[in-house]
Structure 1
Amino acid sequence: MAESIRDQIRTPAEDPLDSKLSRDLLRQFRSGTLVRLRRASYIAQSTWLSMDEIPRHLARMHAIDAAANSRPVFAAESAALLWGLPVQSIPERVQINVPPGSGQRSRGPAVRRQFPQLDDGEWFVDGLKVTSAVQTAVELALRQRYAWSIASLDNYLHGPTSSAAWKPSAQGLREAACRLPSRAKTRRVLALTELADAGSMSVGESISRANMHLAGLPKPTLQACFHDDDGLIGYTDFCWREFGVVGEFDGKVKYRKPEYLQGRDPAEVVIEEKIREDRLRALGLKVVRWTWATANSPNQLRSRLVAAGLPR
């Protein structure tokens, strides 16, 4: 079993009887063999350099939690990383929720924010205390740009992708939104919830759909099923049957990640996609494909899809 991030963190507390350990760790930090996560918490430089930004953020969270006298409640983007909800960017500092009037201040690698608890209970993911999945999704809807807010709510409604479980519910989102202290924030989350769709299968699809809405394009059907004489062709990301158009977001993960490749090499996946596309065109459909650059641009999406047959 791979060693957990928390087990790789070095602190003087790992051997309280060793009076020299604190000085030894500080010496290793100054020599460059350790990286400081927070005061008196370190991780091996080789480990740190092998991490991307998400494990690095999680390492800071574990270091903060290990040193706290009372369990911090991780929130916003920090909580989203634990729940598996998509975020537009990883914050430089760990996000922690504190009770109103607690007097706790932001310092070191953490930002302490006052935000009301939107539902009851306590939640833990990977041994860390977090805001609930529904509260985290609501906070992301308030903190992120429009398209990424939609992506986070789509992902919440689609359901958990890790061992951390929640029961997705549009009603739960609405109830949480109505507990917000600001009417403007409530209106924003309620409006976004009306646009969110559990049928979105990826962040790229969600970003695309949000920007289609901004571009004034007709609402697509998600995951439309198509057959021909040979049987099932597959499910398209977007479909406008009345206009004979289907759309496909072409992210790179399907050509890289094992869960998408399913034992095939990338070349096989490309060939299978081409055969699938030819079968769709044989039904009289126009197939439009796009990548991240187009997904992020309402104008480019509009141009591509109008050219394929959607109304201006």
Structure 2
Amino acid sequence: MVADGTWVRVAPGVFVTGAEWRRLTPMAQHRIRVEEVMARSRTPALISHFAAAALWQIDVLGAWPTRVDVTIDRATGGRSGGAITRRALGREGRASVPFGHHRLATPAQTALDLARLLPFLRGVTAIEQALWTGRHGGALATAADLSALLDEAAPARGDARVRRALEASATLAANVRETHMRLLVVALGFPTPRLQERRVLRSGRLVYGDLYFPDADHWLEIDGRGKYLSPEYTAGRTPSTVVIDEKNRENEIRREVRGFSRLEATDADRPQRVYDVLTADGLRSTKPRPHPGDPILR
């Protein structure tokens, strides 16, 4: 039953039905994995990196691991194995809070750890999720928190990447795809956009734009398919009703801006398509169209 996906093995001795598991986001799946593994770990540990991110609900672009990250002292020489990945970074001086009989890296520490570990783009998504001011209850950390931790810590591999990622980070990205698209359009030579543009239309309707280019008065909507299919967003409406409502909203916005574009969130994985759509809709770039395989974001 595990082999055919009817059941999923979450941790040693812990299983969940495949249907229930597949309804969860990758981050939610990893959070459950972390909770179950650490509940069965008798040795106190410092939960860190992706494991801490899942517990704090700091999303990260790309795949989540299948093992749980903990940080250990370099001198212990511990090895990864089973359900746990041991990262020998030194526990001393690392910001953490209690988590049962374990410790949990703080959001700021978690964002820094991931930005050191991951490529630039993925590191920025982790930082921006920690800094996101639109989160229920407010941001988990501030840029000042991250900078202070970085300055206080001993120099470490990846510090230059962290500083670059921190400089590129904003506080209004509601999800990792907004971060990805914002960084991509700038790398493609388009103007730097504003996130979550707030505007009251002539009808009195309040709208927010995912990305807005003020000098060009150009509005960009980034759609995930959940907007049309997920109960969280449809609020009881049928997909066709959602499409009609969204089209009416778009028509109102188009009457008040010079340019309007719409992209799917996954289009950020296709830089040529993003370039073609934006230029066709009248937004100018200072760079030529990228060739397939060109390094856009590193």
Mark yes or no: TM-score above 0.5: yes
User: Could you say if the C-alpha distance between residues 248 and 60 of structure 1 is closer, same or farther in structure 2, counting changes exceeding 3 Å?
Assistant: closer
The alpha-carbon deviation at position 148 of structure 1 amounts to: 2.4
Q: Distance in 2 between matches of 1:49 and 1:228?
A: 42
Structure 1 residues 19-168: aligned runs within 5 Å: 41-44=12-15, 47=17, 50-52=20-22, 57-87=30-60, 88-117=62-91, 119-124=94-99, 129-159=103-133, 161=135, 167-168=140-141
Residues 205-238 of structure 1 deviation map (CA, whole Å, 9 limit, x = unaligned):
1110121232222100112223333213411111
Q: Distance in 1 between matches of 2:119 and 2:283?
A: 26
The alpha-carbon deviation at position 279 of structure 1 amounts to: 0.9
Q: Distance in 1 between matches of 2:133 and 2:158?
A: 24
Corresponding position: 1:174 with 2:147: yes
TM-score scaled to structure 1, two decimals? 0.76
Residue type at the aligned position of 1:69? R
Partner-residue secondary structure (3-state), 1:51: helix
Q: Distance in 1 between matches of 2:189 and 2:129?
A: 23
Q: Distance in 1 between matches of 2:118 and 2:233?
A: 28
Q: Distance in 1 between matches of 2:29 and 2:266?
A: 27
Q: Is the 8 A contact 1:214 1:298 kept in 2?
A: no
User: Could you say if the C-alpha distance between residues 79 and 162 of structure 1 is closer, same or farther in structure 2, counting changes exceeding 3 Å?
Assistant: farther
Residues 180-211 of structure 1 deviation map (CA, whole Å, 9 limit, x = unaligned):
54466222212211211111122221110121
Aligned residues: 276
TM-score scaled to structure 2, two decimals? 0.80
Identity of aligned residues (%): 25
The alpha-carbon deviation at position 303 of structure 1 amounts to: 2.6
Q: Distance in 2 between matches of 1:61 and 1:243?
A: 46
User: Could you say if the C-alpha distance between residues 36 and 303 of structure 1 is closer, same or farther in structure 2, counting changes exceeding 3 Å?
Assistant: closer
Greater relative contact order (Cα < 8 A, sep 6+): 2
Which has the higher mean CA deviation after the structures are superposed, 296-305 or 116-125? 116-125
Match of 2:274 in 1: 301
The alpha-carbon deviation at position 47 of structure 1 amounts to: 3.3
Q: Unaligned stretches of 5+ in structure 1?
A: 1-28
Residues 155-186 of structure 1 deviation map (CA, whole Å, 9 limit, x = unaligned):
111158578x8642111111222345446622
Partner-residue secondary structure (3-state), 2:53: helix
Q: Distance in 1 between matches of 2:36 and 2:257?
A: 58
Match of 1:279 in 2: 252
Q: Is the 8 A contact 1:84 1:161 kept in 2?
A: no
| Bigger Rg over Cα | 1
